[in-house]
Structure 1
């Protein structure tokens, strides 16, 4: 899909959301939003939401509308803090369904902790992650950035790094009763390392067993072992019951793909994201300051959004309907440039006035939409990706 990577609509998100498929030519693959947190001091919003019920009433129709424009294979990420996380979790269960819940991620955005006020020094927020349809979603909760080469200490003659993993399945739920076809013996020579499914000279017979000597099963089937014997090695090991011979898989840092090229290793994402991995509020303020100035009090770091983007295909259509300072659009450009992706992002923000006396107001950014627009234009001018502002589409007036 061609065109600029960043699109922007000024308007009330509840008005604009039903028009999103028409604006983009289809549904969106990924929604990320950072809604107002109902703390009473969100600088850009004149009215905090007195009481949880009013906040939930504001969010419910917007989440419903977002679900309607989300592809069946898509997912939504919502940032939130302690004030509303419990209510948002219940609301997301109601709108998207409990079965569509994927994760509640803790994000360490303030490593030093907030020192103002009484109580604990809060250093985290949350990300609630839901699928439109968990059975069909293309979300991949893994990343190549979380792979540590030091976890692969061995090296093959051609310079490829690997580690040894037991071929035996270490999960006792898988055993000769529950996985009968994976309980069989193989032959291996601990002197040469060779492994085969049939006897050969110098080999000993090896059956899968747990450390306590009870029967186990292999992780690979017999045909897979015959197909990939070079990725297995036979070794002597010392266990609780003395020395024994066992079989290990060579787990490669860069596994070779079917076309012969080295693949990209990915590792499952944990549900705690550290500031050193995704950035902090301080780094987010610095990023925004470099582009348009210090005009937003609590922006999100682009690293956080880039990690979210990395869970979806590189051609994903992204939607942020609480666009704030424009972090999502900025992150889309950075991620596209980093991995050659063709993501597009639609940002929606209202003309809510900025507070008189705030840095934004002093800089001539009189509405929150002005901040979003200024950042996305600056990113297009300095980094690339293009920018287009779309005319606001209003809901048709009801017939009288």
Structure 2
């Protein structure tokens, strides 16, 4: 598979590994509503993604991001004029982390234009696997031509769609009243409206060459090079059942009725028109109506566009992630559609724009898709900021880190899976025949200087007693020191990892 090369490629592919794990500190005064349907994180999205991994890796059903397009123009809330290699250095480590969040039946959708779109496609092929590329959606973003353009007036953006694995299947779109209006019932068929279907097939069919006689005695046969799509016996059976239409004059060719009640919802198409999912003007009007007189983003996405993505890719209750939250559209739409969501934004507009918009959503604002989905308000979200790093510059564990905080990082380091409820004992759990334990911060109620963080024979007995009966797998123990010999560790089938060094080496 062809690979894209740029000046800092090797360094950029490894940069996500060097991002420190940080804690998330909730800001109660900025959290809103009841429950935790949403999580809004303020901070650099690379660091925020790394902080969220131990909680949400493998659990996100749909990721949508709208990263800076690198259009060589200065945006108010973003520097969207990065040099090409710097843009790749920005997007690649973030995509590598985002991949870790996707569930096995998940998908990622990325908005982009021609400035970086073709390069983005190549790096996404590498990161997510070319076989997992689903399609490119073309979104008609412009309502009218821009006559000030020097060459072409750009009418569209792209949305690249990748799945976690190639077995992913999108949900179909509901049929609109416009689509259904073409179905008629000129013969008052009790089965309801129908469309006349083409009776011919282009491909050879062994039973598709015959002559059929209509109600007026006129004979019909397929045109040269074509075939009936059904056998003569089948056509006669359908005719007896009233499912063949001979035209209002009883002298037209036979057509096979296709009833509205028998057609399914629509397979998503790749051309999304502005009258279906909105345009740039739609989104600007949405924000203008939501916050009259306030300064707004120049490139938000319309709520119906995100609604279509989430309809295709998720079900109610699924988790949605947007790490370039911008004006908060993805979170707002996910909330109204009954999805759980995570949104990440840097700078003060996480508070001044996103949090305020979500507060209005919870209060029941009626803009965007609210009327379409019957939204009247409710739910809640937590607002968090990035807290201290788990490790300091020398690799030492921050003294303020609690057992539960480190336990999540240890478990993720060992299993690449999030830890559920944190236990109140050193034994964190089992995964694929291996048990993991953490000795840290007085978990064994030992208030000595080492706080029971040293693996000794008495501590080993406590750990062994906590294991399920008959467990014969390896026990991985994290601690500050080990007082057992190498022969004892081998005999007891124990793998000791020293904190913090062996954690940092594996993250």
**Same fold at TM > 0.5:** yes
Conserved? CA contact 1:74–1:138, under 8 Å: no
* Gaps in structure 2 of 5+ consecutive residues: 1-33, 366-376, 396-499, 502-507
Residues 85-135 of structure 1: per-residue CA shift (max 9 Å, x gap): 11111121111122222222221212223444522222221111111212x
Q: Which residue of 1 aligns with 2:426?
A: none
CA RMSD of aligned residues (A): 3.8
Give the alignment partner of residue 356 of structure 2, picking from 374, 379, 383: 374
Query: 1:191 aligns to what?
Result: 215
Query: Structure 1 residues 33, 319: CA separation in 2 closer, same or farther (over 3 Å shift)?
Result: same
Q: Distance in 1 between matches of 2:238 and 2:335?
A: 42
TM-score (norm 2): 0.58
Q: Write the deviation string for residues 6-54 of structure 1: whole angstroms up to 9, x where unpaired.
A: 3312222222324546545951111111111112312212x44532221
* C-alpha separation in 2, matches of 1:389 and 1:48: 29
Equivalent residue pairs, number: 343
1:312 and 2:343 matched: no
1-structure distance, mates of 2:83, 2:211:
68
Name 2:287's counterpart in structure 1.
288
Farther-moved stretch of structure 1 (101-110 vs 381-390) = 381-390
Aligned to 1:38: 70
User: Contact 2:67–2:324 (CA<8 Å) still a contact in 1?
Assistant: yes
Matches of 1:137 and 1:247 in 2, distance apart?
36
Note the residue ranges of structure 1 that are not aligned, 5 or more in a row: 193-201, 256-262, 337-341, 352-365
Partner residue of 2:261 out of 254, 278, 285: 254
- Tell me the SS of whatever aligns to 2:69: coil
Within the candidate set 181, 205, 209, 1:150 is matched to 181
Q: State the distance in 2 between where 1:227 and 1:392 align.
A: 66
1:387 matched to 2:383: no
Contact 2:42 2:350 in 1 (8 A): no
The answer to whether structure 1 residue 14 and structure 2 residue 46 are counterparts is: yes
The 5 Å alignment of 1:297-376 reads 297-315=298-316, 316-334=318-336, 336=337, 342-351=338-347, 366-376=348-358
Bigger Rg, which one: 2
Q: Cα distance 1:51–1:225, how it changes in 2: closer, same or farther (>3 A)?
A: farther
SS at match of 1:303: helix
Q: Does 1:108 align with 2:108?
A: no
Structure number with the bigger relative contact order (C-alpha 8 A, sep ≥ 6) is 1
Is 1:233 aligned to 2:236, yes or no? no
Calculate the TM-score normalised by the size of structure 1: 0.72
- Say whether the 8 Å CA contact 2:41–2:383 is kept in structure 1: yes
- Which region of structure 1 is more displaced relative to structure 2, 66-75 or 6-15? 6-15
Contact 2:209 2:227 in 1 (8 A): no
Q: 1:119 to 1:190 in 2, by over 3 A?
A: same
Deviations 1:235-262 (A, max 9, x none): 4799xxxx886451x222233xxxxxxx
Q: Residues 283 and 396 (structure 1 numbering): CA distance in 2 closer, same or farther, change over 3 Å? A: same
Local SS of the residue matching 1:347: strand
